[in-house]
Structure 1
Amino acid sequence: MFYSKSRPQHAARSNAAQGQQNEKPKVPELEEFLTKRDYLGAIALLSFRRHANRNDVKNLEWLAYCYFHYGEHDKALAIYKELLTHDDPDPMYYVYSAACHYYMGMYKEAEDIAQQGPKCPLQTRILFHSAQRQGNDDKLMAYHGQLTDSIEDQLTLASIHYQRSHFQEATDIYKRLLLEHRDYLALNVYVALCYCKLDYYDVSLEILGVYLNAFQDSAIAVNLKACNHFRMYNGKAAEAELKTLAELSGGQHLDHDLIRHNLVVFRGGENALQVGGHGGVPGRGERAAGGWAWWCSGAGRTRCRWVGMVVFRGGENALQVLPPLGDIPPEARLNLVIHHLRHHEIGEAYGLIKDMEPSTPPEFILKAVVHAMLGQAKGDPEHLKKAQQYYQLVGASASECDTIPGRQCMASCFFLLKQFEDVLVFLSSIKTYFLNDDDFNWNMGIAKAATGKYKEAEETLLQIQNDKYRNEYCYLSWLARCYIMNGKSRMAWDLYLRLETNDESYQLLQLIANDCYKMGAFYFACKAFDVLERLDPAPEYLEGKKGAACGAFQMIVAAKEPKDTLRDIVTLLRGNNSADQCEPIVAVMRKWAKNNGVKL
């Protein structure tokens, strides 16, 4: 980046300027660019010098250094390869090349090339990281033993702890280093990142503020602040932070892979990366409280519902942004899986995740969701068993058992096991965190209904505000059952009348007929069995109608039903082709009506 030329003053404005020579613009020195961390400007300067002398080793070393720190590791690697072709090259070039390979995701190559260089702390750190990435625990422990107390080695150790989800151990190292080196402001970002992973979002923001006060245009820091806002508030609040970054940087940071990835996530909604639930009971369904939510609406029928780690604004740009990212950042693959699930593409989601060995709670949770959905869709108990095991692994782990996602996992595990009393124990423990949350109320309401707590279940289900949820058959069927069990059969019948004639309305009609009969609401049971008989003249529906009619008549005789309803009952018994079979019952009713002054 070169300074612009100064404008010469006009002679008419200043006679004193006459005779003075215009100063030539000063070209910044390399040190100035590096001090400002302006690696792009440094690259421009060094590339210009390279044209003058292509064999200047020092210039090439600095150019590779700047490319590396600017994130163009492939270009840095090309220069180190060129330097290795020179006479008597510095063997450290192998180590630097290994670092480039590592950042390019070529971990095996990084390990092999690093070993060609001299033994040094940097080589150890590269080998340590490569072993972690390749999952070689034996080598990992061996290189761990070679680390020293230097700040570089301790930062490396903290990084490995972080990658292995040992966030508290990483935090302890960063905080100790920060006490010893308070002027190392970037350590605040690392501490804030760990606290974010530990779900202490307010603490993370407070610590992050120290760094942002000094570097308000830091893409990493602002992105972390946005992530905290996403977890604490919603996607709009998070996106607002990234818009501020765009204004400060002139939009240059918005092309960064991490920022593009998070914009896709933030544009979805609230409470990402939380747990899904499953009931596994015909006609019963659950939703996750603010996260991966899916539910069952009848045997063999599975649908998913996503709220907000991670939903998209209708999937906006998801397939353009997420597939090219692959596993960088690591969440990109997970979010692509979620995108497929949200669009009911269970096969595509399973294809992405089936060979992934989960190592973090979100990965275990997502595998559980995919297996549960696939198991329900195919009626495969093996997939459902795997889902239950993954949920239990997270919920019972020492690190997650007392967290909100951990308790949601245990609730989901018990949903699969049909142990709804235990489901309520875990959901009740986190209820205060999900006030007015439709997904939480969905799961809580269904669990209460499944355990016979129909009054509480009705109150909870009625708190759901989402119109789409309220029109789902699963919601209507559970609400209808609660109405019937609470003595409000007419309200259940009104739910049926609002539905169009289809398979779901037929199922709801069966539920109303049987539940009303069981609860002694014979009038509405008779109406429901009558409609069922019209749709399907099966003997059991006729017998159900006759039994319900007799029950309703008995209620009228006992003055527990209005006498006027007898007219409707007689009409129902005479309405179908089975009127002859119902005639003896009608005759008894007509006789009683005549003796009691009831007009039919």
Structure 2
Amino acid sequence: MMISRTKPAGAVSAAAAQASEKRQKKLPKLLDFVAQRDYMGAMTLLEFNRNAGKSDEESDLWLAYCAFHLGNYKKALEEYKTLRDRGSTNGDVHLGLACASFFLGMYKEASAASEKAPPSHLKNRLLFHIAHKFGDEKGLMSYHQQLQDVVEDQLSLASIHYLRSHYQEAIDIYKRILLDNREFLALNVYVALCYYKLDYYDVSQEVLAVYLAHFPDSVTATNLKACNHYKLYNGKAAEAELRSLRETASPSFEYASEIIRHNLVVFRGGEGALQVLPPLVDVLPEARLNLVIYHLRQDDIFEAYALIKDIEPSTPQEYILKGVVNAALGQEQNSKEHLKIAQQYFQLVGGSASECDTIPGRQCMASCFFLLKQFQDVLIYLGSIKNYFYNEDTFNFNLAQTKAAIGNFQEAEELFLMIQSEKIKNDLVYLSWLARCYIMNLKPRLAWELYLRMETSSESYSVLQMIANDCYKMGQFYYAAKAFDILERMDGNPEYWEGRKGACVGLFQLIVAGREPKESVREVLSLLRTAPNNPQVEYIVRVIKKWARENRLAL
């Protein structure tokens, strides 16, 4: 059966042709994608053309360019290598090869490739950064002198200042460029990042808002905003920023996925660290440092040390973390060598001009003096930053130990009791110091109850020894006698018997002086009766019984 037509075939063909022509006009071109920073779209178009046999050297160069700007440096490197191997004479090939190698951390290869590239400002800037990576100060100064007063060169200089932790110098350059180029909105992100590094998180947020008002979907800016929220508020507030980013971000910003996954681990307090961070250790410098922090929090000191031992620190954070790891290992192994290394690292940071007046700098000096057992100096530095850490358990723990070490047991006790962390409260150092504070503050019963709550172990034995000796020294003979009694039954050391005997005599003297209730004499006799046959003990017991009869005490 024939299907009837309402329009002639020719008319349909004309309409289809017109629609096809209209669609072709609407198809985006390569430069449209690039102008919109949609490098993924540009790469898709270029690869489609390549598969259709419409590729040439220029489109291959564009493909490498887009891959580079998408953060896919490995792909860019492969494209540039292919062009080089084909014998391309385009000077951009060797320079592109050098740039891709640099971003992959292949600095020797980057240097070798750049030597084959023709002279240019970009080449000089690249060699400037390579010299920084190699620690070549002479080369760094040489390339520095070749920089000109143009935006690209000045931005490169600012980045080197940033990498060398000269954040204020970088800010000065960025602000100077912004004065003449208000449309360079991205520089606000760089300025905000410098303020973040200087711990001025509020200022960083204000500067960042200028850029985000124009580009709210920026991954880099939103990620920095999340980091500011983490520092100013908490991990949940930071994660909320990244959650909105995942919902709205353009796929062209895939390059930031690794740092976002890394930051989420930090915001979540280390959750997923062992799954996310190890593959990023050689990609993001912060990943190694945060993995070290994770291991320290899990008390995996040897894992932390293995990760950081070969790092030559170049930033305050690296010096601090290496100092903390060495201090922890030194205390674990009772190693004076590691403790000395830790003390030196702390002193380097705390004594530096850039860090001496910062909170981390003062913490470092406090740690340095703590390891040197110069506790009066520790107190000066911790006291200067106390208002920033009022409810911080670790800070209060260190301050409490310092107060106790200089004999200020009343304030030390108050600080110890402010601590909420169960991990710290179960630590032997905490238990020992708190028991000592109770004893020195004339509260031996609380020290004794602290011991009774502990499970039988080498740690409880250590606390018991301290209670016995400190109570004896402070004239708190009742609890000294009880402690020495248990110690003797556990160990049988004759010294413990001597301590028990002396404490019993001391307690009896307090009873006679009216400083202890008379009824306590029964406790004295009970403790002495368990002693081995000893003429001295028999004499002491006779004296006590005689006094009891004279005072009409029923024994």
Letter in 2 for 1:460: L
For 1:58 and 1:439, locate their aligned partners in 2 and report how far apart those are by CA, in whole Å: 60
- Larger CA deviation: 373-382 vs 214-223: 373-382
- Shift, 1:579, TM fit: 7.0
Q: What's the counterpart of residue 488 of structure 1?
A: 443
- Larger CA deviation: 395-404 vs 209-218: 209-218
Q: Is 1:343 the equivalent of 2:339?
A: no
| CA displacement 1:230-256 (0-9 Å, x = unmatched) | 222222222221112112238985971
Q: What's the counterpart of residue 542 of structure 1?
A: 497
> Which structure has the greater CA radius of gyration?
2
Are residues 250 and 103 of structure 1, via their aligned partners in 2, closer, same or farther at CA, if it must alter by over 3 Å? Answer: closer
| CA displacement 1:556-591 (0-9 Å, x = unmatched) | 111111111111111111134457652221111111
Q: Is 1:23 the equivalent of 2:19?
A: yes
Are residues 551 and 490 of structure 1, via their aligned partners in 2, closer, same or farther at CA, if it must alter by over 3 Å? Answer: same
Are residues 549 and 319 of structure 1, via their aligned partners in 2, closer, same or farther at CA, if it must alter by over 3 Å? Answer: same
For 1:599 and 1:250, locate their aligned partners in 2 and report how far apart those are by CA, in whole Å: 90
Q: What's the counterpart of residue 330 of structure 2?
A: 375
| CA displacement 1:64-112 (0-9 Å, x = unmatched) | 2111111112222222233334566212321121111111111111111
For 1:378 and 1:475, locate their aligned partners in 2 and report how far apart those are by CA, in whole Å: 19
- SS at 2:420's partner residue? coil
Letter in 1 for 2:35: T
- SS at 2:110's partner residue? helix
Letter in 1 for 2:80: Y
Q: 2:283 aligns with which of 318, 328, 333?
A: 328
For 1:383 and 1:462, locate their aligned partners in 2 and report how far apart those are by CA, in whole Å: 31
Are residues 87 and 388 of structure 1, via their aligned partners in 2, closer, same or farther at CA, if it must alter by over 3 Å? Answer: closer
For 1:87 and 1:264, locate their aligned partners in 2 and report how far apart those are by CA, in whole Å: 46
- Larger CA deviation: 85-94 vs 449-458: 85-94
Q: 1:399 aligns with which of 337, 347, 354?
A: 354
- Shift, 1:259, TM fit: 0.9
For 1:253 and 1:477, locate their aligned partners in 2 and report how far apart those are by CA, in whole Å: 53
Q: What's the counterpart of residue 263 of structure 1?
A: 264
Q: What's the counterpart of residue 9 of structure 2?
A: none
Contact 1:83/1:89 (<8 A) preserved: no
For 2:353 and 2:116, locate their aligned partners in 1 and report how far apart those are by CA, in whole Å: 42
Q: Is 1:221 the equivalent of 2:221?
A: yes
Q: Is 1:92 the equivalent of 2:92?
A: yes
Are residues 555 and 54 of structure 1, via their aligned partners in 2, closer, same or farther at CA, if it must alter by over 3 Å? Answer: same
- SS at 2:117's partner residue? coil
Q: What's the counterpart of residue 191 of structure 1?
A: 191
Contact 1:253/1:259 (<8 A) preserved: no
Contact 1:516/1:525 (<8 A) preserved: yes
Q: 2:423 aligns with which of 453, 460, 468?
A: 468
Q: What's the counterpart of residue 119 of structure 1?
A: 119
Q: What's the counterpart of residue 129 of structure 1?
A: 129
Q: Which has the higher helix share?
A: 2
Q: What's the counterpart of residue 68 of structure 1?
A: 68
Q: Is 1:364 the equivalent of 2:319?
A: yes
Contact 1:246/1:253 (<8 A) preserved: no
Are residues 586 and 202 of structure 1, via their aligned partners in 2, closer, same or farther at CA, if it must alter by over 3 Å? Answer: same
Letter in 2 for 1:565: S
Q: What's the counterpart of residue 302 of structure 1?
A: none
Alignment of 1:79-478 (within 5 A): 79-86=79-86, 89-249=89-249, 256-268=257-269, 312-313=270-271, 316=272, 318-478=273-433
- Shift, 1:51, TM fit: 2.9
Contact 2:72/2:255 (<8 A) preserved: no
- SS at 1:405's partner residue? helix
Are residues 86 and 525 of structure 1, via their aligned partners in 2, closer, same or farther at CA, if it must alter by over 3 Å? Answer: closer
Contact 1:567/1:599 (<8 A) preserved: no
Q: What's the counterpart of residue 453 of structure 2?
A: 498
User: 5+ residue gaps in structure 1?
Assistant: 1-10, 12-16, 269-311
| CA displacement 1:324-380 (0-9 Å, x = unmatched) | 212322111112222333333333322222221111001111111122222222222
For 1:173 and 1:491, locate their aligned partners in 2 and report how far apart those are by CA, in whole Å: 61
- SS at 1:462's partner residue? helix
For 2:541 and 2:254, locate their aligned partners in 1 and report how far apart those are by CA, in whole Å: 81
- Larger CA deviation: 236-245 vs 396-405: 236-245
- 1 or 2 for the larger relative contact order (CA 8 Å, sep ≥6)? 1
For 1:580 and 1:532, locate their aligned partners in 2 and report how far apart those are by CA, in whole Å: 22
Letter in 2 for 1:340: H
Are residues 64 and 253 of structure 1, via their aligned partners in 2, closer, same or farther at CA, if it must alter by over 3 Å? Answer: closer
Contact 1:155/1:174 (<8 A) preserved: yes
For 1:97 and 1:250, locate their aligned partners in 2 and report how far apart those are by CA, in whole Å: 27
- SS at 2:277's partner residue? helix
For 1:354 and 1:49, locate their aligned partners in 2 and report how far apart those are by CA, in whole Å: 50
The Cα RMSD (Å) is 2.0
Contact 2:409/2:440 (<8 A) preserved: yes
Letter in 2 for 1:112: A
- Shift, 1:147, TM fit: 0.3
For 1:593 and 1:135, locate their aligned partners in 2 and report how far apart those are by CA, in whole Å: 84
For 1:381 and 1:557, locate their aligned partners in 2 and report how far apart those are by CA, in whole Å: 50
For 2:99 and 2:88, locate their aligned partners in 1 and report how far apart those are by CA, in whole Å: 21
Contact 1:534/1:576 (<8 A) preserved: no
For 1:35 and 1:120, locate their aligned partners in 2 and report how far apart those are by CA, in whole Å: 24
For 1:463 and 1:206, locate their aligned partners in 2 and report how far apart those are by CA, in whole Å: 36
For 1:76 and 1:437, locate their aligned partners in 2 and report how far apart those are by CA, in whole Å: 48
User: 5+ residue gaps in structure 2?
Assistant: 1-5, 7-11
- Larger CA deviation: 210-219 vs 445-454: 210-219
- Shift, 1:20, TM fit: 6.4
Contact 1:39/1:70 (<8 A) preserved: yes
For 2:533 and 2:484, locate their aligned partners in 1 and report how far apart those are by CA, in whole Å: 13
Q: What's the counterpart of residue 596 of structure 1?
A: 551
- Shift, 1:509, TM fit: 0.8
For 1:406 and 1:371, locate their aligned partners in 2 and report how far apart those are by CA, in whole Å: 18
Q: Is 1:516 the equivalent of 2:471?
A: yes
For 2:86 and 2:525, locate their aligned partners in 1 and report how far apart those are by CA, in whole Å: 104
For 1:87 and 1:110, locate their aligned partners in 2 and report how far apart those are by CA, in whole Å: 19
For 1:240 and 1:579, locate their aligned partners in 2 and report how far apart those are by CA, in whole Å: 75
- SS at 2:217's partner residue? coil
For 1:578 and 1:360, locate their aligned partners in 2 and report how far apart those are by CA, in whole Å: 68
Are residues 506 and 582 of structure 1, via their aligned partners in 2, closer, same or farther at CA, if it must alter by over 3 Å? Answer: same
Letter in 1 for 2:95: V
For 1:439 and 1:87, locate their aligned partners in 2 and report how far apart those are by CA, in whole Å: 62
Count the aligned residue pairs: 538
Contact 2:468/2:479 (<8 A) preserved: yes
Contact 1:394/1:400 (<8 A) preserved: yes
For 2:410 and 2:49, locate their aligned partners in 1 and report how far apart those are by CA, in whole Å: 80
For 1:406 and 1:356, locate their aligned partners in 2 and report how far apart those are by CA, in whole Å: 20
For 1:86 and 1:357, locate their aligned partners in 2 and report how far apart those are by CA, in whole Å: 41
For 2:480 and 2:128, locate their aligned partners in 1 and report how far apart those are by CA, in whole Å: 71
| CA displacement 1:482-527 (0-9 Å, x = unmatched) | 1110111111111111111111111111111111111111111111
Letter in 1 for 2:539: P
Are residues 477 and 203 of structure 1, via their aligned partners in 2, closer, same or farther at CA, if it must alter by over 3 Å? Answer: same
Contact 1:219/1:253 (<8 A) preserved: no
Contact 2:220/2:256 (<8 A) preserved: no
- SS at 1:227's partner residue? helix
For 1:443 and 1:370, locate their aligned partners in 2 and report how far apart those are by CA, in whole Å: 17
- Shift, 1:405, TM fit: 0.4
For 1:213 and 1:579, locate their aligned partners in 2 and report how far apart those are by CA, in whole Å: 89
Contact 1:99/1:110 (<8 A) preserved: yes
- Shift, 1:320, TM fit: 2.3
